[in-house]
Structure 1
Amino acid sequence: MILVTVEAKFSPDDVDEAISLFNAQADDIRLMDGCGHYALFRDIGGDGIAILQHWAATDAFNAYKTSDVFAKLGQDLRPLMTAFPVTRVATIDSV
């Protein structure tokens, strides 16, 4: 399994818009082959979000990263971000 976390920061005025953009795409992402989990969390500080994703395999995660959904989400979110997102990818052999 592939575990992915993404943390992104936004100005306080743009966080709600960013969350709306994520939520608009979330169901399509959850239906992708190999997606076991896709959840969005708002940072306690209020200026950021974190996304937690589980993918069955690297191939499934790579297919997501090259999908139209991923490209559109990045295109819409990039102008709202106040810093580069921090992404962590880990392989989980057993839980």
Structure 2
Amino acid sequence: MIIRIVKMGFLPDQIDAFLDNFEQNKDKIRNFDGCSHLQLVRDIHQPTQFFTYSHWESEEHLNNYRNSTLFKGVWANTKNKFNQKPEAWSLSQV
């Protein structure tokens, strides 16, 4: 299993638009082949900082999602709202 964490910082006036986009797409992502968990969390001290936390059956499943039309559409509608460069980690459980 791959655990994927993505840290994203948003322009304050773009947070509602990001949340709307996430709400519209979260079930599609959760139902993507190989995804068993997707969660969005927000930093309690820096409210413009969000993290997605997802579980994937394998790196191949994650890469299939990252190369999909779904991801490309979601990402295009997300990256223009950033106030900093996003960071991502692919992890395995120890």
Same fold, judged at TM 0.5 (above): yes
Match of 1:51 in 2: 52
- 1:89 counterpart letter in structure 2: S
Q: Please give the residue correspondences for 1:30-49 in structure 2 after superposition, counting only pairs within 5 Å.
A: 30-44=30-44, 45-49=46-50
Q: Deviations over 1:39-72 (max 9, x none)?
A: 1112222112110000011111111100111101
Match of 2:67 in 1: 66
Return the offset for 1:91.
Answer: 2.4
Q: Please give the residue correspondences for 1:1-95 in structure 2 after superposition, counting only pairs within 5 Å.
A: 1-44=1-44, 45-92=46-93
Q: Is the 8 A contact 1:15 1:48 kept in 2?
A: no
Q: Percent of aligned positions with the same letter in both sequences?
A: 28
- 2:14 counterpart letter in structure 1: D
Question: Aligned pair count?
Answer: 93
Where do 5+ consecutive residues of structure 1 fail to align?
none
The Cα RMSD (Å) is: 1.2
SS of residue in 1 equivalent to 2:8:
strand
Give me the TM-score of the superposition, normalised by structure 2.
0.91
Deviates more, 1:39-48 or 1:27-36: 39-48
Where do 5+ consecutive residues of structure 2 fail to align?
none
Query: Distance between the aligned counterparts of 1:28 and 1:70, measured in 2?
Result: 10
Give me the TM-score of the superposition, normalised by structure 1.
0.90
Q: Deviations over 1:8-61 (max 9, x none)?
A: 001221112111111211100111111010111122221121100000111111
